[in-house]
Amino acid sequence: MRIAVVSSDKKVVNERFGTAKRFLIYEQTGNGLQFVGERASEPLIVEFFDRDMCEWIADIIQDCQKVYMTTICKAAERAIASRGITPVIYQGPIDQITL
C-alpha cells in the first residue's frame, strides 16, 4: 500500500491538506513504512476557492491509497475520494502510522 503524508519536518504529520507544500510518499513493506519520495505541491489559497487546484493536488497523489493530514476541507476530500484515496485525519509521528 502506498500512502501520502503531509508534514513540515518529515517526522510528524502536522499540517492541513490545504497548506501542503509537498507530500511525502511511503510504501508499506514487510519492514514497515519505506520512504519512496517527495512530491511538490502548492498550498490552497484560503481567500479564493479553486476547484481545479483541488483536482490538480489530488492528481499529485493519485497512486496512493491513503493520505494522512491534520485536517482537510470538504472540496479537497471529495477530490481525493473521487480517485479512490482515503483521507486519514492524524497528528503524530510518521513512524507510528499503522495501516
Helix (H, G, I), strand (E, B) or coil at 25: strand
Proportion of the chain above pLDDT 70, given as a percent = 94
pTM of the model as a whole: 0.91
Task: Look up the domain containing 65 and give its range.
Answer: 2-96
Question: What CATH code is carried by the domain that includes residue 47?
Answer: 3.30.420.130
Helix (H, G, I), strand (E, B) or coil at 40: strand
Write the pLDDT tens digit of every residue in 10-50.
999 999 998 899 999 999 988 889 999 999 998 876 655 56
Q: How many domains does the chain have?
A: 1
Check: CB of residue 14 under 8 Å from CB of residue 77. Answer: no
Residues 81-99 as b/e (b if ≥16 CB within 10 A, e otherwise) read eeeebebbebeeebeebee
Q: Find where cell 510518499 sits.
A: 25
